Every structure is written in structure tokens, then in C-alpha cells.
Amino acid sequence: MDDDDLRRGQPTVHRKWNEATAVLAGDALQTLAFELVVQTNCPNSARLRLCTSLAQASGVRGMVGGQALDIAAETSDRPLTLTEITTLQAGKTGALIEWSATVGPIMAQADTTALGQYARDLGLAFQIADDILDIEGDLETVGKAVGKDANAGKATFVSLLGLDGAKARAQSLVTSACDVLSAYGEDADILREAAKFVIARKS
């Protein structure tokens, strides 16, 4: 939908094949996700909860809703506010990141609160880092077009918070994401590494 030529340094599906194939590949992968989730090795009630939460995270109150807000913003006569862009990103990318982090506790029929909060912080930090890379990165390292959002005059976390403000906010979110895992002790170190990677990454 952003009509980009590249993702992770590879040609996008609609460039390499065509738009119909891109739409169909998306539909096929979305439905495959539900097929795989149902095959998960855990109690039936947990498998059903995985399905419901995946549907909610992907649908109109999650990824689709966030993407729709993003599309609407393109033709809006004013830039988004910080609250609006945070809501947009919580749906567009945050909801499925959060879902992924809660799959473990759902399968184990354990409490999802800490991992859910961890993932919400990480997801927002990820998006702020993306906006920073759009300013500071170069195409070859990032693997997709850069400078696009800024050039399009779109509101981003950088345009709203400034570059230093955005970096500070991302850092504070990563700290919070790591702290919320305290009850898991060292067992959660790999998740803390993941949170730190999200803002250290160059692509």
C-alpha cells in the first residue's frame, strides 16, 4: 500500500509479480496463520483463545484498523497528533507484536499481563526507531526506501518529538519493557536483548 519497491532489500511482491498476486499472497498467509494456530500443541481452550486473539490483533481493531488510519491520514488536511499516531501504530504494528509475545503464556494458560506490556513498549519503540531510521538510515543498510515519510510531509514520531526527543522516548520504552519482565529474572534475558536490539538496529 505504500507502493515501495523494496522490503528487507528484496523486491516487493507487487513489483516482482503484480498487485493481484500480492493481495492473494497476503490473503493466503493470513488464513494459513489461523490453520497453524489451531494445530498448536496445547489445550483446546488455549488454542481457541489463540485464534480469537489473533483475529482481534489482525482485524479492524488491530493491524487493519491501524493501516486504515494510516491511509486516511495521507489525505487528511492536517498532520496527526502524537496521540493519534500512537493509536495508529499500536494497531498497525503493535497489535501483532503484542499477540506474538502473549502466545507463550496463552499456550501455558498463564498470566499474559507482563509479556503484553513488554510487547506494547517494544512495539512502540520499534516504530519510533523506524521513524528515526527513515531520517538517519541509508537505503542500502535499511533495505527499503528512506526519507519517504519526511518527504511526504507525514507526521512521524521524529517530526512530533524531534530527533533527540524520539531517541529518548524509544530508550525509555526499552527500559520500561525490560523492567516489566523482572518477575522472570534471567530467564527473560533474551527478551530484554530483543528490546534493546529494536532501537540499536540499523535496518
Q: Which residue type, as a one-letter code, is found at position 168?
A: A
In b/e form, how buried is each residue of 25-45, taking b as 16+ CB within 10 angstroms?
Answer: eeeeeeeeeeeebeeeeeeee
Among 27, 111, 138, 189, binds a copy of itself (CB under 8 A): 27
Site membership for a copy of itself, residue 107 (CB under 8 A): no
- E-strand ranges in the chain read 6-7, 10-11
Per CB under 8 A, which region of 33-41, 85-93, 112-120, 144-152 contacts a copy of itself? 33-41
On whether the CB atoms of residues 125 and 170 are closer than 8 A, the answer is yes
C-alpha dihedral sign at 25, 143, 102, 87? negative
Site membership for a copy of itself, residue 20 (CB under 8 A): yes
How many of the chain's residues bind a copy of itself (CB under 8 A)? 34
Alpha-carbon torsion angle 7, 11, 15, 21, nearest 10: -80
Site membership for a copy of itself, residue 151 (CB under 8 A): no
Query: Considering beta carbons, is residue 20 or 190 the nearer one to a copy of itself?
Result: 20
Site membership for a copy of itself, residue 24 (CB under 8 A): yes
Q: Which residues bind a copy of itself (CB under 8 A)?
A: 1, 19-21, 23-24, 26-28, 30-32, 34-35, 38-39, 44-45, 47-48, 51-52, 54-56, 58-60, 63-65, 67-68, 71
